[in-house]
Structure 1
Amino acid sequence: MKISKRLGLLWVFLAGWALLVGSVHAAGLQVTDDRGVTVRWDAPPQRIVSLLPSLTETVCELGQCHRLVGVDRYSNWPASITRLPRVGGGIDPNVEAIVALRPDVVLLAQSSRVVQRLESLGLKVVALEPKSHADVQRVLGKVAQVLGVDAQATQRIWRNIDAAVSAAAQSLPARVKNTRVYFEVNRAPYGAGTSSFIGETLTRLGVQNIVPASLGPFPKLNPEFVVRANPDVIMVGDRNFEGMTQRPGWRSIRAVREERLCVFPNNESDVLVRPGPRMAEAARLMARCLQEKAP
């Protein structure tokens, strides 16, 4: 009788343990991306393809560069990723090359056109697209979730970024405050609006962005809009600068007339236009520009 009772208790214990292990295994790891789609794994992904430079940089900032097995053609930081296979761009990725890398997950922008195709081929996809400072902080946390990295690490990284942006603002002399700035992200022209991560950094530096939040994060502008706004300083990357001052009426803009333009070389422009862990460096580059060019 005693043996039977003990066996019964043992069976109950083992059954309970099996249910517990099964539920943990079933739960595994899950992340809900910017589409609202929940993606699940049994264990943190070890083979990652990134199709967005800011996401590549985020993976590496979290100390997980070694998990990357392929990146887009524009990812170029840190230097250790330059040896990785290139699988096209975010808009025109080489799907066959991605599949051949056997990734556990593909990180890409929500606006990418290949999300459904990759999923139809059985790949797990996480779509993330930061546009503001809050988005950068959120995406940092999401990528950490995918990687299975401790949340404290992401909090520490974000605190360092935030503190460095504040330090860049405090480094500026009073004369810079309220300088009217135009930041061009693409020669179409597309400008960085007040609600974008670039615009939010400019606001924290204490200057005025001529592109209002009402136009959206990165609106396409009529060149005449910039002429009428007459900014004191223009910021633009070298790859987008050609022909800018030749646009109709632009020689009358104060920033052009008084040569108050900051034309950033490509390596610095990359830092400025990527919403990721190098935002602190971007703030320092903008502050340097304002110290040198603000009236």
Structure 2
Amino acid sequence: MKKILIIFLMVSSYIFSQGKKIERIVTLSPSITEMVIDLGEKDKIVGCDKFSKVHSNLMNIENSLDSNDINEEKIIGLNPDLVIISEHNLIRGQNKIELLKELGIEVELIENPKSVQEIGNSIEKIGKALAQEERGEKLKTEYLNQLKEIKENDKNKSFYLQISSNPLFTSGNKTFLNSALEHIGVKNIFQNGGTWFSPSLENILERDPDIIFVTSEREKNFLLTQGGLKDFFSEKKIILLDENIVLPTPNIVNILKKLNNEI
């Protein structure tokens, strides 16, 4: 009770009034932070998660937050007008997010896109939350048009996506990352794999992918040192993915353009 009372006193003079301008923003996801910056509101970010600080070059911001373990007192101390979160933040922070709302702090939830097309909805929603509706709609339209430009016919090639080797981990056909890769005209060998799962080497060999996408040089080296299997993998086209492909933002079109030319 004492802790809650302290928190309440910290914000007792800070309850939102209708129509209040958004001047102080807290973001808890690197993809959200990137889109806030795309909308021209970088200078209003007063706190963000530690990954955003590095990814979006916000090292001047002193307040580094943990997106996996939300510190509600730290957020309240930043006196934000708006806190923007993703579904990922709710895994361990649902109660803390609810507390922020109870104390009158505006919280905007951005759903995790399930396809590259849905990224447009994310930036549009963030634009509305920031009172940048026109800018958000414009960026959404520009993004979807760019996406159409790189859409090509089926390349008649299949791929396997190597996320990790210990254990083997890949994506089925119901993830954002799969949607991004299939947008350039290649098909996942695990079309009925659902979301994330662990396949066997036998499964991969049986489905005989034309292309293997890896997330790091380590994963590539793993495939090429699998004893009698290294000949199988060495004959495949192995492509190292840009680490930023996992971020569902409009800037993914630049990554997909390069991949499209590489295949």
Q: What's the TM-score bracket when you normalise by the shorter of the two chains?
A: 0.7 to 0.9
Letter in 2 for 1:159: T
Distance in 2 (alpha carbons) for counterparts of 1:96 and 1:87? 13
Check the 8 A contact 1:210/1:231 in 2, yes or no. yes
Whether 2:32 is the aligned partner of 1:55: answer: yes
Residue 198 (1) aligns with residue 177 (2): yes
- For residues 257 and 86 of structure 2, the distance between their equivalents in structure 1, rounded to whole angstroms, comes to 26
Equivalent position to 2:243, from 259, 269, 286 = 269
Residues 1:133 and 2:107 aligned together: no
Q: 1:97 to 1:226 in 2, by over 3 A?
A: farther
Q: Residue 262 of structure 1: SS of its match in structure 2? A: strand
**Residue of structure 1 equivalent to 2:97:** 118
Contact 2:180 2:256 in 1 (8 A): yes
User: With structure 2 as the length reference, what TM-score do the two structures score?
Assistant: 0.76
Residue 178 in structure 1 maps to residue 156 in structure 2:
yes
> In 2, are the aligned partners of 1:184 and 1:236 still within 8 Å (CA)?
yes
Q: Percent identity?
A: 22
* Distance in 2 of aligned mates of 1:90 and 1:228: 40
- Unpaired stretches in structure 1, ≥5 consecutive residues: 1-38, 291-295
Point out the more displaced range, 63-72 or 87-96: 87-96
Could you tell me how far 1:157 is from its partner in structure 2? 1.6
Q: Is the 8 A contact 2:189 2:207 kept in 1?
A: yes
2:31–2:249 Cα contact (<8 Å) kept:
yes
Pick aligned residue for 1:207 from 186, 197, 215: 186
Change (3 A) 1:50 1:41: farther
Unmatched runs of 5 consecutive residues or more in structure 2: 1-15
Q: CA deviation at 1:55?
A: 0.6
The answer on whether the counterparts of 2:169 and 2:196 sit within 8 Å (CA) in structure 1 is yes
In structure 2, C-alpha distance between the alignment counterparts of 1:283 and 1:222, rounded to whole Å: 25
Partner of 2:13: none
Quickly say closer, same or farther: Cα 1:229–1:87, change in 2 above 3 A.
farther
Aligned partners of 2:115 and 2:179 also within 8 Å = yes
Change (3 A) 1:40 1:111: farther
Q: Secondary structure at 2:50's aligned position in 1?
A: coil
Q: CA deviation at 1:283?
A: 0.9
Q: How far off is 1:231 after superposition?
A: 1.4
Task: Kindly tell me the number of residue pairs found equivalent between the two proteins.
Answer: 238
Helix, strand or coil at the partner of 1:83: coil
Partner deviation per Cα, 1:195-228 (whole Å, 9 max, x = no partner): 333322333311112232x433x41222333333
In structure 2, the residue matched to 1:150 is 133
The answer on whether the counterparts of 1:50 and 1:106 sit within 8 Å (CA) in structure 2 is: yes
Q: Which amino acid aligns with 1:102?
A: N
1:250–1:49 CA distance, 2 compared to 1 (3 A): farther
Give the RMSD, CA atoms, in angstroms.
Answer: 2.9
Asked which structure has the greater CA Rg, the reply is 1
Change beyond 3 A, Cα 1:141–1:209: same
Structure 1 residues 287 and 125, CA gap change in structure 2 (3 angstroms): same
Superposed displacement of residue 60, structure 1: 0.9
> How many angstroms does 1:186 deviate by?
4.7
Match of 1:281 in 2: 254
Q: Is the 8 A contact 1:227 1:252 kept in 2?
A: no
CA distance in 2, matches of 1:90, 1:109: 9
Q: Which residue, out of 144, 148, 168, partners 1:162?
A: 144
Q: 1:72 to 1:116 in 2, by over 3 A?
A: same
Q: What amino acid sits opposite 1:85 in the alignment? A: E
Q: TM-score, normalised by structure 1?
A: 0.69
2-structure distance, mates of 1:276, 1:257: 33
